């Protein structure tokens, strides 16, 4: 039976991009379906009724949601170009950092971007604390996963392209040479890596999108007061 593999994504979703990268790194062909989240397709709602979000992977008609869950499925189904180590302890460590990224790093950086005043200041303290762990984790390594790109790098991929979009739109500095030399080196290596470098969403489009998002959020907050 021919493999049928579809990825539901948006042009900008960093979570969907992880799935795209994983499949491209493994050389697995797939069909892309772009969603408009303001007008979700009935297929998306059918395949991800719980969260109604992208990404969704549909393999031979069977859907999966949640990017980190999808990444592990891809890893177990297509064994070439492994993204996780074989050793159980190293695998547990990789899973730990991937979760840390989504549970701690992303929310705090997002709050630095979207919030104002005291909330923003507190978020910056949390964000810097989290970034320090990432900087330490990179010591002696080119990528979080070692010599080659792995699951943790894909999970942190949004740091490489979105953080400086947030910095430019908001006018803040999150990552700098003094405090995060290793993270900046990782960012360059990751951005320029084959396959990875071909899929970045347009930076100009991202600037426009997040500028609009920040304006809308700020106006809404001001009106609520």
Partner 1 sequence: MAEEVVLLDFWASVFGMRVRIALAEKGIKYESKEEDLRNKSDLLLKMNPVHKKVPVLIHNGKPVCESLIIVQYIDEVWNDSSPLLPSDPYQRAHARFWADFVDQKVYDASRRVWRTKGEEQEAAKKDFFESLKTLVRELGDKPYFGGETFGFVDIALITFYSWFYVYETYGKFSIEAECPEIIAWAKRCMQKESVANTLPDQKKVYDLLW
Q: Which residues bind partner 1 (CB under 8 A)?
A: 50, 59, 62, 64-66, 68-70, 72-73, 76-77, 88-89, 91-93, 95-96, 99-100, 133
Residue 69 CB, nearest distance to partner 1 (Å)?
A: 5
Please give the Cα distance from 104 to 101 (Å, whole number): 6
Backbone CA torsion sign across 192, 193, 194, 195: negative
Kindly tell me which of 2 and 50 has the beta carbon lying closer to partner 1. 50
Residue 145 CB, nearest distance to partner 1 (Å)?
A: 16
Q: Count CA atoms closer than 13 A to 98's CA, side-chain side.
A: 24
Other residues' Cβ atoms within 10 Å of the Cβ of residue 194: 9
Kindly tell me which of 109 and 196 has the beta carbon lying closer to partner 1. 109
Kindly tell me which of 59 and 180 has the beta carbon lying closer to partner 1. 59
Residue 56 CB, nearest distance to partner 1 (Å)?
A: 11
DSSP state letter for 101: I
Residue 126 CB, nearest distance to partner 1 (Å)?
A: 13
Kindly tell me which of 93 and 111 has the beta carbon lying closer to partner 1. 93
The residues near 63 (Cβ < 8 Å, ≥ 6 apart) are: 47, 48, 56, 57
Strand partners, 31: 6
Residue 116 CB, nearest distance to partner 1 (Å)?
A: 23
Please give the Cα distance from 53 to 18 (Å, whole number): 14
Kindly tell me which of 102 and 167 has the beta carbon lying closer to partner 1. 102
């Amino acid at each position: 039976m021919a493999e049928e593999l579809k990825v539901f994504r948006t042009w900008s979703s960093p979570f969907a991009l992880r799935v795209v990268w994983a499949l491209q790194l493994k050389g697995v062909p797939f069909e892309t379906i772009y969603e408009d989240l303001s007008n979700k397709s009935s297929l998306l709602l059918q395949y991800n009724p719980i969260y109604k979000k992208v990404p969704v992977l549909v393999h031979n008609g069977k859907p999966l949601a949640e990017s980190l869950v999808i990444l592990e499925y891809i890893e177990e189904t297509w064994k070439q170009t492994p993204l996780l180590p074989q050793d159980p302890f190293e695998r547990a460590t990789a899973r730990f950092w991937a979760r840390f990224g989504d549970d701690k790093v992303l929310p705090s950086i997002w709050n630095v971007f979207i919030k104002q005043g005291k909330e923003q200041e507190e978020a910056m303290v949390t964000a810097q604390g989290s970034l320090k762990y990432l900087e330490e984790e990179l010591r002696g390594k080119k990528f979080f996963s070692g010599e080659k790109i792995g699951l943790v790098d894909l999970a942190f991929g949004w740091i490489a392209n979105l953080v400086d979009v947030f910095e430019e739109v908001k006018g803040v500095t999150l990552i700098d040479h003094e405090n995060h030399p290793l993270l900046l080196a990782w960012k360059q290596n990751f951005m320029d890596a084959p396959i990875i470098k071909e899929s970045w969403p347009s930076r100009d489009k991202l600037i426009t999108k997040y500028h609009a998002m920040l304006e809308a959020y700020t106006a809404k907050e001001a009106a609520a007061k």
